[in-house]
Structure 1
Amino acid sequence: MSSAEQTPRPTRLAAAAAVAGVEALGLVAGGVYMAVNALTGTAGDLTGAVMGAVTLVALGLIPLVAARGLWLRRSWSRGPAVITQILALPVAWQMLQANSVMIPAGIVLGVLAVTGLVLLVNPATTEALGIRRPGQEA
């Protein structure tokens, strides 16, 4: 067991893992919702609905794997987690532009994405993941 695994997990790292996990659950839940709509016949375009559902579930695997990696302190997991947060920002923006029930979801997604980014670039998080900053000694 390495010394990083013996020290307590920083709260910021646990919170970053939780943010990625919540985003993963949201994507998978959206995919399942679309699949149910497609299979019950309420979707207009069956092929499009099924492809959308499969895409959302597949995209949900990225933050899910990143969340697990963050929780286990794997340095590689920060990259997919950061990319997920960056991609979530324009999606949140588009949701905020709608005149519908998507506005509250866009607010939640935007808050999650910004929070996730702040947590992932925090020095405590990078140190816990074993990522050295430029100019830092080995």
Structure 2
Amino acid sequence: MSDTPNASATPPPLSVAASLVGVEGLGAVGVAIGAISDVRSGQWATAASIAAFFALCAAGLFVAGWALWRRHGWARGPALITQLLMLGIAFGTGIPVAAAIVVAAVAVISVAGIVHPDSIRALSGEAD
């Protein structure tokens, strides 16, 4: 087994999960931009803090998505934890129902892709 796994051998369920984690990263970038663009008088520090937090979250999601795509086993934990947090956001924060359904669907599909037997084999190095 090489140090850098072959991305072309990434099983389809893991590819879907990795892609959706990347999409969540784009969503976090959107929230960061929204926080900056919705600054009210005297709220720069709060907006900058929120934007920085979500920018860091986006970076983490991009790294985790890339690592899943490249079949690095360490990425499974952060990706799964993120999906559990996304389910909490979907059902516990009062976001609009349509948005909650989309967020929950992305999280459930991502979890299914990450825990699929082919994905587990690929992330553990057994698929080589």
The two structures share one fold, judged by TM-score above 0.5: yes
Aligned pair in 2 of structure 1 residues 29, 43: CA closer, same or farther (>3 Å)?
A: farther
In our comparison, the structure showing a higher alpha carbon Rg is: 1
2:105 maps to amino acid = V
Confirm whether residue 73 of structure 1 aligns to residue 74 of structure 2: no
- Counterparts of 2:14 and 2:72, CA distance in 1: 11
If the length of structure 1 is used for normalisation, what is the TM-score?
A: 0.79
Equivalent residues in 2 for 1:1-138 (5 A)? Answer: 2=2, 5=6, 8-38=9-39, 42=40, 45-95=43-93, 97-98=94-95, 102-130=96-124
Residues 91-131 of structure 1, C-alpha deviations (whole Å, 9 max, x = no match) = 11124x34xxx322211111111111111111110111126
Q: Is the 8 A contact 1:43 1:49 kept in 2?
A: no
Q: Which has the higher contact order (CA 8 A, sep 6+)?
A: 2
- Counterparts of 1:43 and 1:109, CA distance in 2: 31
- Counterparts of 1:49 and 1:7, CA distance in 2: 41
Moved over 3 A (4+): none
Structure 1: segments with no counterpart, 5+ residues: 133-138
Residues 61-100 of structure 1, C-alpha deviations (whole Å, 9 max, x = no match) = 22111101011111111111111101111111124x34xx
RMSD: 2.2
Identity of aligned residues (%): 32
Aligned pair in 2 of structure 1 residues 6, 78: CA closer, same or farther (>3 Å)?
A: closer
1:129 maps to amino acid = L
Q: Is the 8 A contact 1:88 1:109 kept in 2?
A: yes
- Counterparts of 1:131 and 1:82, CA distance in 2: 18
Structure 2: segments with no counterpart, 5+ residues: none
